[in-house]
Amino acid sequence: MLDELELTDEALEQAIVGAVGDLSSPMTSSQKGFRGLTHYLTGVTTEVRQKYRDEVIGTTRADFKALADRLRGKQLKMAVFGSQESFDKANEARGADEQIKVSPL
């Protein structure tokens, strides 16, 4: 579980550097244009992006534990698309309290 995660200084630094690297990866002109349009349409400013980058760089072990606390007890949802037969087969392998709810489109 996330709250039991034992991160070394090196592992935390590596995770932060990797995340910042993803934020700063080189982009083609098309990708830059799409990102700029997306930021404009969603109201993401340079200040908002810098604040996010600063928060990523300043991540601590306590932040991981705080996230675990926030997620604990939350009902997480997701959407999965597949055939009825696949869901029936998956539900056969699950307990009564772990059934996948299927909603046809």
Query: What residues does each domain of the chain span?
Result: 2-74
pLDDT at 72: 86
Q: Count of residues for the chain?
A: 105
pTM, rounded to two decimals: 0.61
Q: What is the pLDDT confidence band of residue 3, given thresholds at 50, 70 and 90?
A: low
The string of pLDDT tens digits covering residues 19-76 is 998 888 899 999 999 999 999 999 999 999 999 999 999 999 889 888 888 888 788 7
Greater pLDDT, 32 or 7: 32
pLDDT at 18: 92
Give the side-chain half-sphere CA count within 13 A for 65.
6
- Are residues 1 and 72 in contact, defined by beta-carbon separation less than 8 angstroms? no
Q: How far is CA 94 from CA 44, 67, 89, 99, in A?
A: 42, 28, 9, 6
